[in-house]
Amino acid sequence: MKVIHELSNIRLRGRKTNRLTNINLKIYSGEKIALLGKSGSGKSSLISIANGALYPDEGHVLFKGENIHRINQKKRQKIATIWQELLLIDELSSIQNVNCGALGKNNLIWAIRNLTGTLNPHFSSLCLLAAGLPAVYHNANIKLLSGGQRQRIAIARMLRQEAELLLADEPFSNLDPTLVKQTLNLLQSRTLNEKVSPPKTILVSLHRPDLIKSFDRIIGLREGKIIINKSVNEINELDINYLYS
């Protein structure tokens, strides 16, 4: 299998201690990876390093063999992120927020037209439907929506981006059990409807070990270091306990 994303020798300094130390991680095309660890173990930092939002103090991140901070916009669009805080834009409607996923593919005029709400909403509607948000909410003021609904908008925005690699930071934290299941299914599936398909390669951070069965590989993070890197079949209770002790 081909390596699509690679973090090598990453170190990220914090105020007092290192937030990440000696991180080496290869993500292969088509893999579904779960990133486990207690809160504060460095999961969010790792994701921010992986998508290029943060610069590591040491080491480098390669996307398809190129340094992530030097690749062009077109390649960057192939990496999607679902942030823990979602980072939706409260001032915009659901559809407009989903359109933001396609900002990279389009020019500034398109961006301004999206603000004016004069774009064809078809594709974004499909993404929202695929993410499980019913059509009545598509033009809603998103400030008024629930946490779960907002989470689905963030997922739809990610779908709209049509990326190859998804980095997701605790995307299940706001969801009830049924929605968690739906979302997991969504991320696993090949195509959702005629146009929308999720990224093939996925790295999802979790703090719920019970969900790991849906993934191929488990990465365990403790105090900024990778201490587990195993196929899901090889994981046992002890590993998990050690991670959370």
Partner 1 sequence: MKWLNPTILSIIPALAIIPVLILIGQGFHDGGSYLLIRVITSAFNPSKSILLLKSTWDGLQITVCIAFIGWLLSIILGFLLGLISSSVIWKILNGPKICAPLMRKILSIPRSIHEILWSLLLLQIMGLNGLVGILAILIPYSSLTARVISDQIDTIDIKSLRAIRQTGGNPFSIIITAILPKIIPLLISYGGYRLECSLRSATILGIFGFGGIGTDIQLSLQSLEFNEMWTSIWIIGIFIILLEHILGWYRRKFCFSPQAIRLILFSPIIGGIIFIACIIRLKQLDIDILVSPNFNSIYWPSINEIINAINELPLLNLTFSTLILTIFTSGIVIGIPAVGILLWPTRYGQIIQSSIWSIMRIIPPPLTALLLLLISTPGFAVAALALSIQNIGIMGRFLKEKIQTNGDKKLKAFQTYGVSKNSAWLYGCLVENSSSYLSYAAYRADVILRETAIVGLVGGTGLGWQLMESLSSFNWAEVLVLITIYSMLTISGEILSKEISNFWLLDKYKAYLQ
| List of residues contacting partner 1 (CB under 8 A) | 51-53, 73-81, 83, 85, 87, 89-92, 100-101, 103-104, 106-108, 111-112, 115-118, 141, 161
Name residue, tokens 């927020």: 97
Shortest distance (Å) from residue 121 CB to partner 1:
12
Shortest distance (Å) from residue 76 CB to partner 1:
3
Shortest distance (Å) from residue 244 CB to partner 1:
28
Shortest distance (Å) from residue 89 CB to partner 1:
5
Looking at beta carbons only, is 180 or 201 nearer to partner 1? 201
Looking at beta carbons only, is 199 or 220 nearer to partner 1? 199
Looking at beta carbons only, is 69 or 208 nearer to partner 1? 69
Shortest distance (Å) from residue 53 CB to partner 1:
5
Burial class (CB in 10 A: 0-12, 13-18, 19+), 38: middle
Burial class (CB in 10 A: 0-12, 13-18, 19+), 35: buried
Looking at beta carbons only, is 40 or 117 nearer to partner 1? 117
How is 23-48 classified by DSSP, letter by letter? EEEEEETT-EEEEE--TTSSHHHHHH
Looking at beta carbons only, is 31 or 164 nearer to partner 1? 164
Q: Are 75 and 20 in contact (CB under 8 A)?
A: no
Shortest distance (Å) from residue 25 CB to partner 1:
17
> What are the CA-CA distances from residue 67 to residues 23, 126, 159 (Å)?
16, 33, 24
Looking at beta carbons only, is 90 or 234 nearer to partner 1? 90
Mind spelling out the 3-state secondary structure of 160-216?
Answer: HHCCCEEEEECCCCCCCHHHHHHHHHHHHCCCCCCCCCCCCEEEEEECCHHHHHHCC
